[in-house]
Chain A
Amino acid sequence: MGLTGLEIYKHLPKTNCKECGSPTCLAFAMALAAGKASLDACPYVSDEAKEALDSASAPPIKLVKVGTGDHVVDLGEETEIFRHDKRFFHPTGLAVLISDTEDVAAKVEKFEDLKFHRVGLDYVTDMVAVKCDSGDAAKFKEAVETVAGKTEKAMVLLTEDPAVMEAALDVVADRKPLLWAATADNYEKMTELAKGKECPLVLKGKDLHETAELVEKVVALGYKELVLDSGARETSKALADLTQFRRLAVRKKFRPFGYPVFAITSKDDPREEVIQAGVYLSKYADVVVMKACEKQQLLPLLSWRQNIYTDPQKPVAVEAKLNAVGDADENSPVYITTNFSLTYFLVEGEIEATRIPSWILSVDTAGTSVLTAYADNKFSAEIIAEALKKSGAEENVKRHTLILPGYVAVLKGSLEEESGGWEVMVGPREASGINKFAKEKFA
């Protein structure tokens, strides 16, 4: 979205001199808004007008990078309020908080162990935050050094004291950590530090208004690698502020808010903290800092992050292969479904619930559901038989029983032929019918 005619018009000299070739300044502004003229045609345009037009072509939210090498975390560059309108692009950086007053080495080791494998995907907690609670520059520096020595993940450094920050930067500036925070009181020194070391900087206001003011001041000092924190810490207030940041940046192109945003949990109870972080993750935070560090606490958050940052326009596919459910062995039946993840996981969940060890053959249908794939000729007897051969089922499963989704019962005969002697059973149409079906046939 560019500038509107009226906005451009406000920057023009309003002399109607006609030298640009348009009859009036207003007409020229409309030609600019429609992309049919260039500002250069106006001999009298001011520098401010040029700058306003330039900034209008920038993305609504800037991309800011934290960290180095393989562990860079991209923040921002979002363009939507709702993921269904297009998609969310850069997953929220989840940062585990370590205080310089706790056993730093132990916690960072625990943090490093926060990686998960589920539904064929690897999830990692991608950021670690170190906070100065001691007030002691030397102690903070030591903590930061310990963390940096034990993880290569992107770092966030939390202190509002520029001297303390400077001490820590002595040892980790080359890791490009995110610095929290510049405030109304310290922004000049913090900006100087961040600018000197080329590290991204969080600006923390007391509210949205003060945050916007800070942005203008820091931008005036020539620094734009910024992340914003409105200072809100209660769930409801933070939700409102995060919503305003995103709306004003995307819908109004309000430049002071055109940066990624930062949230930090305030709950002490780990359970409450996890779902407070979940709210921020759901609604627009680009970085969330939280204390929780247990596997069972991070797995749900990382899963939710994976979910909402998928592309809603793209069907999500799982790997097409033979999958074991329970202790499937050579005597277990083989269910057939597509590799559309929603279908696959529904089927898998239902088969699991039967507690009868089974195989699932997910056929590559380019991530489409059973009926869509069938209609599109991506789920024919030939294709299923081919997938069956490639999967190694022939050799690994002695019991040659296939269960066909009820919706494509019509394939039964041809699949029996194509598969070369497998018994083909017609299963239920919906996954919800699997339990009953399996108990009748295989229990």
Chain B
Amino acid sequence: MAVEILKEKYRSKVGEVVLGATKEEGGTRSHTITVGGETSLPYLHFEGETPNRPVMALEVWDTAPTEWPPFFEKFYGDVWNDPGEWAKKCVNEFGADLIQLRLAGADPDINDASPEDCTVAVKKVLEAVGVPLIVIGCGKPEKDNLIYAPVAEAAAGENLLLGVAELENYKAVNSACMANKHNIIASSPIDINICKQLNILIIEMSTAMANRIIIDPTVAALGYGAEYSFSIMERARNGALQGDKMLGMPMIGNIGSEVWRTKEAITPTEDEPGWGEQEERGILWEATTAMAYLQSGIDMLVMRHPEALKIIEKQIDDLMQDNSY
């Protein structure tokens, strides 16, 4: 009996965003990375295109993190005092597609690093690796607003992905991106209405930003509201395919930093023997969280554990296999 395969026809598609710039394009990256462009729901190749496979970044900080579980030391302990070396290891050894540099040291409660210090860190990473770069602040808006302009200027031409813009605080980072032709992370707190509104506000400042936005819908860790993020991403992606241009941007998620503060990832084996071995549990917690968001349409994943990245890399290979009828 012939089954009539049901293929959705969508009016629109997800926009494409190019990250990084090569020498010819005015930067110093060895290659660029394009994300987005989907014309179907995730990996339904039988009805549409996924022209660009999702990409993974590993986190690099400008200061050695003090609160990561001890087993991260065996991967990063020899390099985490030097963001350049750290980035190099992530790319060369662990296979990261790109680097997300978090300027954590700028936090007044950590090192209170100056904007100049931040630009030094950014340059170090740019010199050390050829992959496109994501740069985010320390998470304290008053401080981050002092950093965006000098960082954007120091990396002019590199076509960074810079963040984060939030509804209450998007102008400084957006101006920095506009002035130096960088891309922007538009972050909303698991709220699709704010997600859409923020995109509009960014584009209202400059229509040139329309194809330079990456949506960060806020990805909760597995077990901590992941289903909310999952559904918001599904709704946003459906909206994008049905023609809502203000939701038609690629999406990014900070998987690693969310997962590695959950109880399931940080509780030692001896404290919760009923949960199994800690590091493996954490790796699978991170990989399962990433898996869930791949199924809701994420384009860029920021990971932390190199083993979790490896598992997801394989799954992306599998998901990208043609399944047309």
Contacts and interface: CB of A to CB of B under 8 A. Distances in A.
A251 B319 contact: no
Contacts of A213: 1
Contacts of A348: 263
Interface string B114-125: 000000000000
A209 B2 contact: yes
Interface in A326-341: 341
B292 A278 contact: yes
B284 A240 contact: no
B311 A353 contact: no
Contacts of A31: none
B6 A248 contact: yes
Contact of A312 (B227, B274, B320, B321): B227
A117 interface: yes
> Interface size class for chain A?
35 or more
Contact of B284 (A244, A271, A308, A342): A271
B37 to A, nearest CB: 18
Interface stretch (A63-71, A166-174, A292-300): A292-300
Contacts of B263: 118, 348-349, 352
| Chain A binding surface, main DSSP class | helix
Interface string A294-327: 1111011101101110101000000000000000
Contacts of B235: 82, 84
Contact of A274 (B44, B287, B322): B287
Interface stretch (A192-200, A230-238, A384-392): A230-238
A244 B8 CA distance: 11
B234 interface: yes
Contacts of A254: 3-4
B3 A208 contact: yes
B43 interface: yes
Contact of B43 (A117, A236, A349): A236
B171 interface: no
Interface in A233-282: 234-237, 239-240, 243-244, 247-248, 251-252, 254, 256-257, 271-272, 274-276, 278-279, 282
Interface of B: 1-6, 43-46, 67, 109, 139, 190, 220, 222-228, 230-231, 234-235, 238, 261-264, 266, 274-278, 280-281, 283-285, 287-288, 291-292, 295, 307, 311-312, 314-315, 318-323, 325
13 contacts: A236-B323, A239-B323, A240-B325, A244-B3, A252-B6, A256-B3, A272-B314, A275-B287, A282-B295, A296-B276, A300-B222, A307-B223, A349-B262
Ranked nearest first, the 9 interchain pairs of A and B with the lowest CB-CB distance are A296-B276, A295-B276, A240-B323, A296-B281, A300-B288, A235-B318, A236-B321, A307-B227, A84-B231
Interface of A: 82-84, 116-119, 208-209, 212-213, 216, 234-237, 239-240, 243-244, 247-248, 251-252, 254, 256-257, 271-272, 274-276, 278-279, 282-283, 294-297, 299-301, 303-304, 306-308, 310, 312, 341-342, 345-346, 348-349, 352-353, 432, 436, 439
